[in-house]
């Protein structure tokens, strides 16, 4: 197979996994913020952590 297609498929799979993980973490944080009453702080921190971990995943993939 052409390497570019393999790379694109790999990255698109990572995006799908990341989207699912982001949804899960936001659901958990939404429930936690509903219980504790701290809505904005929890969701903002969770989204930033998820985006940071995805950036680390890409860096780990592109720089062996």
The confidence score (pLDDT) of residue 18 equals 77
Distances (CA, A) of 31 to 35, 42, 43: 6, 10, 10
pTM score, whole prediction? 0.42
Q: How far apart are CA 5 and CA 31, in angstroms?
A: 39
Q: How far is 32 from 7, CA to CA, in rounded Å? A: 37
Which tens digit of pLDDT belongs to each residue from 8-60?
777 777 777 777 777 777 777 666 666 666 555 556 666 667 777 776 776 66
C-beta neighbour count of 12 within 10 angstroms: 10
Alpha helices in the chain (DSSP H): 3-36, 39-62
């Amino acid at each position: 197979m052409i390497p570019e297609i393999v790379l694109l498929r790999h990255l698109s799979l990572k995006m799908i996994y990341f989207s699912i993980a982001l949804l899960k973490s936001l659901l958990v944080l939404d429930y936690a913020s509903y219980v504790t009453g701290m809505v904005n702080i929890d969701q903002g921190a969770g989204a930033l952590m998820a985006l940071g971990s995805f950036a680390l995943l890409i860096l780990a993939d592109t720089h062996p």
